[in-house]
């Protein structure tokens, strides 16, 4: 546990240093730019840092790294890659909150809401909400660039071949997550659910690209590539990472319906209000008689009040879909852990990976 | 002229190849992703390619390059960097059109409008306009990543030191343009104009960071760095690029008020409706008597009809601000061309740079 704490500290330090350097570089643009830097800094104080942790363990799966030791050039490169993933994730969340019209994130107002509030508080003219959206869009763009700079620094600090391979994984991740997000948005807006099997396939595809690969598999492979993983070493890590990512997102689906606002920082039933066609929702629908299914479909994605949310939560619970999803989570984690057995992954890392998989699958926020 | 045509063809080919490769890589995400690729492809058929041209000339300022010759590794790297800047610019424009709530771009519907129309045409549920915004946001994110990949490829194809230096310029450009954009948006929303000199300073700062450095200076320096420019060689290019960029944006300010919709692809008086506090507008205000100034301020940034736009155009013209801005454009181009004289920039490139500066400053679209 000491290791995890030290790592969290090192990551936060490095993120703060990076943002501090950018603040200095942007000083010629004058004091008004400060609001952008302040928001980025505040946003990046929080978060569970799963992606950073998977990247570090991806590295350790291949090459020894003493997390309690000195931060030499090699360790620094791993930290840069890990921070890069966290900055990229912050950018994705900030844009995601615009897309989902979310009010809160990490227990604070979403970035577009913060800027809308600033607009109102400082007596600016024009549409405060639109100013919020415009500003958050630009903060996200900025963090995307800075994520890229950090990944560049990480890749430049290791052998060329290793750096190039890490970039391949990072690049693929960025493409897939943006398109996965688009498919998610598109899915919500379909006039009706597809027939069950097709819908399950569509929902699973969104889950895989928008989240599973992005949150676990890609960070692991970026870390492993930096350590010089061969394709033979990458294979078991991918075979571990994808099911852990699936479990991670299935847990997210459960939290999106049943999560405690105090813990998740997102309102209860958020996914229901947004009308997300998650695997959980798709499995629920299939069990409902026709009339109930119609009511369910009509409520989903509307401006639900507390009572509506409770009713839908009850429907989902009573359908047996929660147990089914819990079962899928367990099986995915088991499959993941199994993929590491007898693999060329370093045993101490395999042990830590299994622990982290469990945490990712069983988290409450 | 033959060279310019060949270059335009090579750039378009390379952009199409890049997008084609991404389309293939994204095939596993299914046919629904096609709309994203189609929009990116269509968007990138147009544009004036100033940034690409400045990057290529930046390279040629330092190192010989036969634009009519074979595309070897070195020429390929220059083309990749040039295409990267065009992809990044496409992303910036797509996000900019969300921010400015623009309806058209390059004579087509803006990306967010295209997706809103697709939403309506395919009978999706939910808010078509918001779907448009969400989709365009993601298309922009995607193009930003792809721009970065191309820059990476460009930098990897030349000596390490040259590549690193090109990245410094590219990275700085990305930071500065996002924050410059933010300052522009913030400026529009200020309840009133600042006192004249302060306002001129603020408007100039936005012009420099949002456009002059981004459109001309940075592309030039990226190209020059790829060619291995020393700091001594970079200096005259920066001294040339910044005033050309200023002239480029001052022309943009004039086109934003007086431009022909058929040529610019943007409605006439667009900047007036958006309430942009350009140098042109700031200079106009200063000449107006108090009462007229108040009317001017109140109209700016509102939903002007054709008559209002004509009236404001007349006010701006009669104020003498147009001549003043034209004079600034001429002086900036002269200063730029002067900066190359006696400099270590290759003479054939200096000649082409002067021509391109003139085109950037005197364009009608």
The pLDDT tens digits for A164-179 are 999 999 999 999 999 9
The DSSP result for B174-204, as a single string, is HHHHHHHHHHHHHHHT-SSPPPHHHHHHHHH
Tokens of A201: 């396939």
- ipTM of the assembly? 0.96
pLDDT band at A32 (very low <50, low <70, confident <90, very high): very high
Residue B106 pLDDT: 83
> Residues A237, A88: contact at Cβ < 8 Å?
no
Contact between chains at B134 and A301 (C-beta distance less than 8 A): no
Average pLDDT, integer, range B124-131: 95
Contact between chains at B301 and A133 (C-beta distance less than 8 A): no
> Residues A312, A267: contact at Cβ < 8 Å?
no
Average pLDDT, integer, range A81-109: 95
Q: How far is A92 from chain B (nearest CA, A)?
A: 9
Q: How far is A229 from chain B (nearest CA, A)?
A: 21
> Residues A272, A235: contact at Cβ < 8 Å?
no
Residue A268 pLDDT: 82
Residue A267 pLDDT: 81
Contact between chains at A178 and B33 (C-beta distance less than 8 A): no
Average pLDDT, integer, range B80-100: 97
Q: How far is A47 from chain B (nearest CA, A)?
A: 22
B209 closest CA partner among B185, B186, B179: B179
pLDDT of B45 higher than 80: yes
Indicate the residue of B139, B145, B182 with minimum beta-carbon distance to A33.
B182
Residues in A closer than 8 angstroms to B130, CB to CB, are 101
Indicate the residue of A99, A124, A148 with minimum beta-carbon distance to B189.
A124
Residue B1 pLDDT: 54
Q: Which of B94, B134, B213 to mutate to test the interface with A (most CBs of A within 10 A)?
A: B134
User: Nearest residue on chain A to B168, judged by CA atoms?
Assistant: A149
pLDDT band at B154 (very low <50, low <70, confident <90, very high): very high
Residues in A closer than 8 angstroms to B34, CB to CB, are none
First-to-last CA distance in chain B?
19
Tokens of B325: 């801005």
- Measured N-to-C along each axis, helices A73-99 and A111-121 cross at an angle, to the nearest 10 degrees, of 70
Q: Which of B25, B84, B163, B175 to mutate to test the interface with A (most CBs of A within 10 A)?
A: B175
Q: What is the length of chain A?
A: 365
Q: Which of A99, A124, A148 to mutate to test the interface with B (most CBs of B within 10 A)?
A: A148
* Percent above pLDDT 70 for chain B: 100
pLDDT band at B249 (very low <50, low <70, confident <90, very high): very high
pLDDT of A260 higher than 60: yes
Cα(B218)–Cα(B223) distance, integer angstroms = 9
The pLDDT tens digits for A177-213 are 999 999 999 999 999 999 999 999 999 999 999 999 9
Cα(A276)–Cα(B123) distance, integer angstroms = 18
Residue B268 pLDDT: 82
User: Nearest residue on chain A to B30, judged by CA atoms?
Assistant: A205
* CA dist B275 → A52, B199, B281, B328 (Å): 43, 14, 9, 22
On the 0-12 / 13-18 / 19+ scale of CB atoms within 10 A, A160 is: exposed
Contact between chains at A32 and B144 (C-beta distance less than 8 A): no
The DSSP result for B333-357, as a single string, is HHHHHHHHTTSSS-HHHHHHHHHHH
pLDDT of A30 higher than 90: yes
Residue A1 pLDDT: 54
User: Nearest residue on chain B to A163, judged by CA atoms?
Assistant: B156
Residue A242 CB contacts under 8 Å (≥ 6 apart), including other chains: A208, A212, A213, A216, A217, A336
Contact between chains at B126 and A33 (C-beta distance less than 8 A): no
User: Nearest residue on chain A to B26, judged by CA atoms?
Assistant: A176
* CA dist A303 → A295, A299, A344, B16, B47 (Å): 14, 8, 51, 43, 42
User: Nearest residue on chain A to B92, judged by CA atoms?
Assistant: A141
pLDDT band at B127 (very low <50, low <70, confident <90, very high): very high
> Residues A181, A140: contact at Cβ < 8 Å?
no
Q: How far is A337 from chain B (nearest CA, A)?
A: 26
Q: What is the overall mean pLDDT for chain B?
A: 95
Contact between chains at B182 and A101 (C-beta distance less than 8 A): no
Residues in B closer than 8 angstroms to A179, CB to CB, are 26, 29, 33, 36, 138, 142
Residue B3's SS3 state is helix
* Percent above pLDDT 90 for chain A: 92
B173 closest CA partner among B240, B223, B111, B136: B223
Average pLDDT, integer, range B229-244: 97
Q: What is the overall mean pLDDT for chain A?
A: 95
Indicate the residue of A131, A167, A190 with minimum beta-carbon distance to B124.
A190
pLDDT of B260 higher than 90: no
Contact between chains at B125 and A180 (C-beta distance less than 8 A): no
Q: How far is A274 from chain B (nearest CA, A)?
A: 10
Indicate the residue of A26, A125, A182 with minimum beta-carbon distance to B175.
A26
Q: How far is B17 from chain A (nearest CA, A)?
A: 16
User: Nearest residue on chain B to A96, judged by CA atoms?
Assistant: B134
Indicate the residue of A98, A101, A148 with minimum beta-carbon distance to B148.
A148
* CA dist A71 → A6, A235, B69 (Å): 11, 29, 48
- Structural domains in chain B plus CATH codes: 2-362 (1.10.600.10)
Residue A262 pLDDT: 85
> Residues B111, B136: contact at Cβ < 8 Å?
yes
Indicate the residue of B36, B134, B189 with minimum beta-carbon distance to A179.
B36
Average pLDDT, integer, range B303-319: 95
Residue B234 pLDDT: 97
Contact between chains at A137 and B95 (C-beta distance less than 8 A): yes
Residues in B closer than 8 angstroms to A144, CB to CB, are 141, 144-145
Contact between chains at B146 and A95 (C-beta distance less than 8 A): no
User: Nearest residue on chain B to A126, judged by CA atoms?
Assistant: B189
Contact between chains at A190 and B137 (C-beta distance less than 8 A): no
User: Nearest residue on chain A to B152, judged by CA atoms?
Assistant: A152
Residue A235 CB contacts under 8 Å (≥ 6 apart), including other chains: none
Residues in B closer than 8 angstroms to A36, CB to CB, are 179, 182
């Amino acid at each position: 546990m000491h290791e995890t704490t030290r790592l969290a500290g090192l990551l936060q330090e490095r993120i703060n240093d990076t943002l501090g350097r950018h603040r200095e570089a942007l000083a010629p643009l004058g004091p008004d730019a400060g609001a952008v830097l302040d928001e980025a800094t505040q946003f990046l104080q929080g978060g569970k840092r799963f992606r950073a942790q998977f990247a570090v363990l991806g590295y350790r799966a291949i090459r020894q790294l003493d997390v309690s030791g000195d931060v030499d050039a090699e360790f620094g490169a791993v930290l840069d890659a890990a921070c890069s993933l966290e900055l990229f994730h912050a950018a994705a969340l900030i844009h995601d909150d615009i897309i989902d019209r979310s009010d809160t994130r990490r227990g604070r107002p979403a970035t577009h809401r913060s800027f809308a509030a600033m607009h109102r508080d400082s007596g600016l003219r024009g549409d405060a909400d639109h100013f919020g959206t415009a500003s958050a869009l630009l903060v996200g763009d900025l963090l995307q660039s800075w994520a890229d700079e950090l990944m560049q620094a990480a890749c430049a600090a290791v052998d060329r071949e290793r750096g190039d391979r890490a970039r391949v994984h990072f690049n693929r991740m960025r493409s897939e997550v943006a398109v996965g997000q688009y498919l998610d948005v598109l899915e919500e807006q379909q006039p009706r659910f597809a027939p069950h099997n097709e819908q399950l396939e569509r929902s699973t595809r969104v889950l895989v690209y928008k989240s599973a690969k992005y949150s676990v598999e890609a960070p692991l492979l970026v870390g492993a590539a930096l350590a010089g993983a061969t394709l033979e070493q990458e294979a078991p890590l991918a075979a571990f990472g994808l099911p852990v990512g699936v479990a991670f997102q299935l847990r997210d689906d459960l939290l999106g319906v049943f999560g405690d606002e105090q813990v998740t920082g997102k309102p209860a039933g958020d996914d229901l209000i947004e009308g997300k066609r998650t695997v959980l929702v798709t499995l629920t629908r299939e069990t409902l008689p026709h009339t109930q299914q119609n009511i369910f479909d009509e409520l989903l994605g509307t401006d639900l009040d507390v009572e509506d949310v409770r009713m839908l939560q009850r429907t989902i619970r009573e359908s047996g879909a929660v147990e089914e999803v819990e079962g899928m989570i367990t099986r995915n984690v088991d499959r993941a852990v199994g993929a590491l057995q007898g693999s060329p992954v370093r045993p101490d890392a395999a042990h830590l990976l299994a622990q982290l998989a469990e945490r990712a699958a069983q988290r409450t926020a």
